[in-house]
């Protein structure tokens, strides 16, 4: 399978065989016995850190897979669970007890419209996806409610790239702006920084990065920061916090 990494493949192409039992396959790939076959056209990608193969393309519809990290929007609230919109064909189920330390007397106080960073626990075409806000070690480790910040949508291919270990965009941004980020493979990105202007710069840089080379990203950030500093009024104005959904 290594020989096909970063190459364009078509539906029906034989990608290779699974020789390592710890390797996982994701969107665009199916397993037939020990053979991996492409079910979509696109570029075959591989994450060395996660040992994860997937096909990257410009697909807009999200199809949940087990262990996917997603950003969801609470759309309905029940005593023991929540209904969450993750951008798939059906709403997902999030149990009130799927948070670290959650008990019957200590449930998360989530409201309709809140953002949550989750992991897909069950994904089956015949039933609604099931989510948890804990890692495989039953710890929060970054999962849970996303407070304040700004969420925007991007292509599924860009979201997978942002999660890869060789992503240069986030490293370059970190040199100039202190920020927090949560990326869901469902094409949603949440960012938060010191003020609204820096948050907007981070969001615009990520969205424009798919049309720029890596050596153009840093000049773009510096030019934007300079432009913002020149146009910022000297008087302080209290602006509302960004919590757009």
Cβ count within 10 A of residue 50: 15
Question: How confident is the model at residue 183, as a pLDDT?
Answer: 95
- Distance, CA of 166 to CA of 158 (rounded, Å): 13
Average pLDDT over residues 3-22: 80
Q: Is 181 exposed, middle or buried (0-12, 13-18, 19+ CB in 10 A)?
A: middle
Q: 138 and 164 share a domain? A: no
Q: How far apart are CA 226 and CA 112, in angstroms?
A: 38
Strand order across the beta sheet in which 179-184 lies: 150-153, 188-193, 179-184
- Asked if the model's pLDDT at residue 22 lies above 70, the reply is no
pTM for the structure as a whole: 0.79
Question: Do 162 and 213 sit in the same domain of this protein?
Answer: yes
User: Using CA atoms, how far apart are residues 245 and 242, in angstroms rounded to an integer?
Assistant: 9
- pLDDT band for 210, please (50, 70, 90 cuts): confident
Looking at the structure, tell me whether residues 76 and 139 fall in a common domain.
Answer: yes
Instruction: Please give the residue range of the domain that contains residue 179.
Output: 150-231
In a domain, 241, yes or no: no
- In 3-state terms, what secondary structure has residue 16? strand
Q: Are 7 and 122 in contact (CB under 8 A)?
A: no
Chain center to CA of 152: 11
> CB neighbours of 59 closer than 8 A, spacing ≥ 6?
27, 40, 42, 156, 157
CB distance 206 to 222 below 8 Å = no
For 209, residues 6+ apart whose C-beta sits below 8 A from its C-beta are 158, 169, 217
Q: What is the CA radius of gyration of the chain?
A: 20
The last residue of a domain, from among 146, 178, 199: 146
Strand order in the sheet with 8-9: 8-9, 42-47, 52-56, 24-25
The DSSP code for 242 is: P
Mean per-residue pLDDT, 59-72: 86
Same domain membership, residue 84 and residue 131: yes
Residue 155 and residue 117 share a domain? no
Q: What is the pLDDT of residues 154-202, one digit of tens each?
A: 888 788 888 887 788 898 899 999 999 999 999 999 999 998 989 999 9
Residue 242 in this model has a pLDDT that exceeds 50: no
Detail the DSSP E strand segments found in 65-197: 69-77, 81-85, 92-99, 115-124, 127-133, 144-146, 150-153, 179-184, 188-193
Q: Tell me, yes or no, whether 31 lies in a domain.
A: yes
Number of structural domains in the chain: 3
162 and 115 housed in the same domain: no
Q: What CATH number is associated with residue 128?
A: 2.40.50.140
Report the chain's mean pLDDT, rounded to a whole number: 85
- Domain with 50 in it: what CATH number? 2.40.50.100
Q: Residue 43 in contact with residue 13, Cβ under 8 Å? A: no
């Amino acid at each position: 399978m290594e020989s096909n990494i970063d190459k364009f493949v078509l539906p029906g192409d034989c990608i290779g065989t699974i020789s390592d039992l710890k390797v996982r396959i994701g969107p665009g790939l199916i397993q037939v016995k020990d053979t991996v076959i492409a079910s979509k056209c696109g570029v075959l990608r591989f994450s060395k850190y996660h040992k994860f193969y997937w096909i990257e393309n410009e697909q807009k519809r999200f199809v949940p897979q087990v262990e996917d990290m997603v950003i969801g929007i609470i759309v309905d609230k029940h005593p023991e669970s929540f209904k969450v919109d993750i951008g798939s064909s059906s709403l997902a189920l999030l149990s009130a007890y799927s948070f670290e330390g959650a008990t019957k007397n200590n449930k998360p106080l989530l409201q309709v419209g809140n953002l949550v960073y989750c992991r897909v626990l069950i994904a089956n075409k015949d039933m609604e996806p099931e989510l948890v806000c804990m890692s495989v070690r039953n710890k929060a480790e970054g999962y849970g409610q996303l407070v304040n910040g700004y969420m925007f949508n991007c292509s599924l291919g860009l979201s997978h790239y942002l999660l890869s270990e060789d992503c240069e965009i986030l490293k370059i941004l970190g040199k100039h702006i202190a920020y927090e980020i949560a990326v869901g493979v469902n094409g949603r990105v949440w960012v938060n920084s010191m003020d609204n202007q820096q948050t907007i710069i981070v969001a615009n840089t990520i969205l424009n990065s798919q049309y720029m080379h890596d050596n153009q990203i840093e000049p773009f950030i510096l030019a934007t920061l300079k432009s913002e500093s020149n146009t910022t009024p000297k008087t302080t104005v209290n602006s509302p916090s960004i919590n757009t959904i």
